[in-house]
Amino acid sequence: MRQPRQALIGQVRRARIAEVAARVLLAVCLFCAAVPPILVIGVIVWRGLPAISLEFIFDMPKQSMTAGGIFPAIVGTALLTLATALFAVPAGIAAGIYLAEYAGDSLLARLIRLSIANMAGVPSIVYGLFGLAAFVITMHLRQSILSGALTLACLSLPAIITATEEALRQVPSELRNAALALGATKFQTITRVILPAAAPGAVTGVILGLSRAAGETAPIIVTAAAFYAPLPTGLMDKTMVLPYHLYIMATQAVRSNNNVVWGTALVLVASTMGAAMAAAAWRSAQRRKLRW
């Protein structure tokens, strides 16, 4: 009788030790995963902040871009992202509505889901080559904001569709049934009941998708970006953009100025991350207001 009891106590002790060891190990894993973001943001702010001034943000580059500001790159990124939104948001939201409200589990719906999942995994440089072949060359749009925006729209489409679908699915079906029972058509139900209820989630997803697109470099190297260009005057111009400017200044500038490099990095990260964080904060604030 004593023998098994001893063994049992030993087993319990071993399990306890394993429990503690495992918790420590897992905490270390989580720590390792959470530290890089802090370091990345910290370093970029620390190195970039001294470069930031009104002149840096609102001035043209000077002395072959080793001094002056990055205004054209900021304007270019803003324009490119807006144009991307113009193409990607209507199509993406409509496709999200289709998947959440119309599709069901048909073969077509599964095919669409599959192609979205695959589009999300296509490397960004492949989008760049596709944009070059399809928009720049075949459609004769040249290297322009328009070509770049179409390319980035393809790239951000899956994120926007997925986010919209998720947001629509979270609207309880009671709302849907109530609207339909009052005699609204399906389309009226969607536009007047479901979309307003799903807006926080959908808008946040859209902004996240667009901010990722705004930070992409590879797809626009050959479709929209210019090494140096004046302020763009229309959609058919080449343009300077922040990610490409950063890449060029960091790797290929003959005499690089560290201030310009880190300042550009800070502006880029602050705008993409700022947009993403603001959107996420807005969503959680809206969620608290809107409870079912």
Among 16, 62, 192, 287, binds another protein (CB under 8 A): 16
Is 251 a binding residue for another protein by CB under 8 A? The answer is yes
For residue 190, the minimal CB distance to another protein (Å) is 8
Is 261 a binding residue for another protein by CB under 8 A? The answer is yes
Residues in the chain: 292
CA gap 291, 55 in Å, rounded: 46
Q: Which stretch binds another protein (CB under 8 A): 65-73, 87-95, 196-204, 229-237?
A: 87-95
Spatial contact of 261 and 244, defined as CB atoms under 8 Å apart:
no
Is 23 a binding residue for another protein by CB under 8 A? The answer is yes
Structural tokens at position 14: 């071993």
Is 209 a binding residue for another protein by CB under 8 A? The answer is no
Among 67, 112, 199, 235, binds another protein (CB under 8 A): 112
CA distances from residue 170 to 110, 199, 290 in whole angstroms, order as listed: 20, 11, 12
Q: Which stretch binds another protein (CB under 8 A): 54-62, 171-179, 195-203, 218-226?
A: 218-226
Is 117 a binding residue for another protein by CB under 8 A? The answer is yes
The beta-strand segments (E) located in the chain are: 61-62, 67-68
Q: Residue type at 223?
A: T
Among 80, 99, 146, 203, binds another protein (CB under 8 A): 99
Q: Which stretch binds another protein (CB under 8 A): 49-57, 66-74, 153-161, 231-239?
A: 153-161
Q: Residue type at 278?
A: A
Among 180, 229, 253, 273, binds another protein (CB under 8 A): 273
Is 265 a binding residue for another protein by CB under 8 A? The answer is yes
Q: Which of residues 157-176 bind another protein (CB under 8 A)?
A: 157-158, 161
CA gap 55, 97 in Å, rounded: 45
Place of tokens 């609204």: 184
Alpha carbon dihedral 74, 209, 153, 107, in 10-degree steps, equals 180
